Amino acid sequence: MANVYVGRGVTDSGTEELVALKVIRDEYGHDPRYLRMFSDEAKILARLSHPNIIRTLEYGIAKEHRFIVMELLAGRTLAEVWDLLAASRERLPLRVGAWICARVADALHAAHELRDQSGAPLSVIHRDVNPSNIFLTYAGEVKLIDFGLAKARVRRTQSVDGIVKGKIPYLAPEQITTRPIDRRIDLYALGTTLWEAGTMVRLFKRENDIETLRAIRDAKVPDPRELVSGYPDSLFAIALLALQPDPDARYQTASEMRDDLDEFVGGADAEMSAELAGLVARLYPGEQRKHSNWKRDTIGVRELATAAPPPMPVPTASSKLLGVPAEITLEDGDFEIVP
C-alpha cells in the first residue's frame, strides 16, 4: 500500500545521508482503514530501537502524504539468497542459518517486550516473520523489516473476525483455526524459517494454498537429519521446539530461542557476520561496489528526481520461496483464499 523512494536527510552534524522514504500510495491515501494501518505501523516502528530491526528515523504528514523515513539498507533478503542457493543446488551453511535466526529472535524479543511510556506492555506481534522480511546487508548484518502487519495494543485497526493475515506457508496452526494468537506465532514462523534454511526444502508449502493450509493444520515436521547428512541433533531440537503445534509446548519467549541458537552457533558473532558478508558478496559479485558508487553519485545529485534508480531491487515478497501474498477467510471450518 506504499511506494518507497530515496530521500535525503540532514543529520544533526549537518552531513547528508540517503534514507528510504515510504509514502502511502495515492489510491489508499483517502481510505481511513489504510491510513490507520500505515499510521499504526509508523507508531510501532518509531518505538523500536534494536540493531537487528530496521531503524525508523521519523514519520509524519507532508501535503496530505503520510510518510515513514527509515534507514536505507544495502543487501539482499534471506528469501533472495535462499532462491539463488536453491537454484545452484547449494546449501546455506547451518551455523550461518542458525545465527541469522538467532538475530531475528533477538529482534523479536525486543519487539515483544516493547512497553509504552507508562511501562505497560504494548503486546507487539510481528505476524509476518518469513525470509522476505529478513534482510541481510553487505556488511553481514541481519535486519528484521516490514512491521506492516504487526499487531499491538496501540493499533487502531482491528482484523475482521475470520480473516488471517500473513504469508500462508509461515502461519502457525492456531492462526488457521481462529484461536487466540500471541507472540508465539512469530516463534513458529521463525521455526519454519530455521527448518527451511537448514534443509533447503519447503516445510509446509504445497502445490496450492489449500493443501498448504492442510499441511500446517496437520503440523507434521520431517526429521531434517534424514534429509541432510550430518544435520546436528541439537539444531533439530531447537527447530522442533519452535514448531510445536500446541503453543504451550513451544518456546514461550523469543529470548529462549535466541539463547539456544546462540549456544549452538557458539556465540561467534564477528565470525558469523563476516561469513554472511562473504556469502552475499560471492552470490552477488560486484553488487556492493555498484551500490556504493550509486550512493556516492546520488548524494551529489541536488535534485533527487534525476538520480538513477538503485542497482539492486527493493525487497519484495515476490520470491519463489513465498508465492503470492494473500489473506485467508475461514468459513465453516474450511479455507477460502482472498488475493
Domain termination residue (choose one: 15, 43, 72): 72
Q: Is there a single domain that holds both residue 40 and residue 158?
A: no
Q: Is 157 contained in some domain?
A: yes
**Count: domains in the chain:** 2
Q: Is there a single domain that holds both residue 26 and residue 153?
A: no
The CA distance from 149 to 152, in Å, is 10
Domain termination residue (choose one: 72, 105, 121): 72
Domain termination residue (choose one: 13, 41, 72): 72
The CA distance from 215 to 183, in Å, is 22
The CA distance from 70 to 35, in Å, is 18
Q: Report residue 313's pLDDT band, with 50, 70 and 90 as the boundaries.
A: low
| Entry pTM | 0.86
* pLDDT tens figures, 85-96: 999 999 999 999
Assess whether 128 carries a catalytic annotation: yes
Residues 6+ apart with CB under 8 A from 190: 101, 104, 105, 108, 129, 242, 254, 257
Q: Is there a single domain that holds both residue 63 and residue 168?
A: no
Q: Is 184 exposed, middle or buried (0-12, 13-18, 19+ CB in 10 A)?
A: buried
Q: What proportion of the chain, given as a percentage, has pLDDT over 90?
A: 56
Residues 6+ apart with CB under 8 A from 332: none
Q: Which of 26, 40, 116, 128 is catalytic?
A: 128
Q: Is 4 contained in some domain?
A: yes
By mean pLDDT, which of 41-45, 105-109, 164-168, 219-223 is the weakest? 164-168
Q: Is there a single domain that holds both residue 50 and residue 155?
A: no
Average pLDDT for the chain: 86
Q: Is 287 contained in some domain?
A: no
Q: Is 308 contained in some domain?
A: no
Q: Is 271 contained in some domain?
A: yes
Q: Is 160 exposed, middle or buried (0-12, 13-18, 19+ CB in 10 A)?
A: exposed
Q: Is there a single domain that holds both residue 50 and residue 106?
A: no
CATH code, 47: 3.30.200.20
Q: Is there a single domain that holds both residue 21 and residue 68?
A: yes
Q: Is there a single domain that holds both residue 59 and residue 101?
A: no
Residue 78 grid cell: 534471506
Look at residue 37 in the predicted model and tell me its pLDDT. Answer: 76
**pLDDT above 80: residue 125:** yes
Q: Is there a single domain that holds both residue 219 and residue 82?
A: yes
Q: Is 218 contained in some domain?
A: yes
Q: Is 90 contained in some domain?
A: yes
**pLDDT above 90: residue 272:** yes
Higher pLDDT, 6 or 80: 80
Q: Is there a single domain that holds both residue 19 and residue 138?
A: no
| Secondary structure letter of residue 313 according to DSSP | P
* pLDDT tens figures, 154-183: 544 444 444 455 689 999 999 988 788 999
Residue 121 structural domain: 75-275+325-338
* pLDDT tens figures, 200-212: 999 999 999 999 9
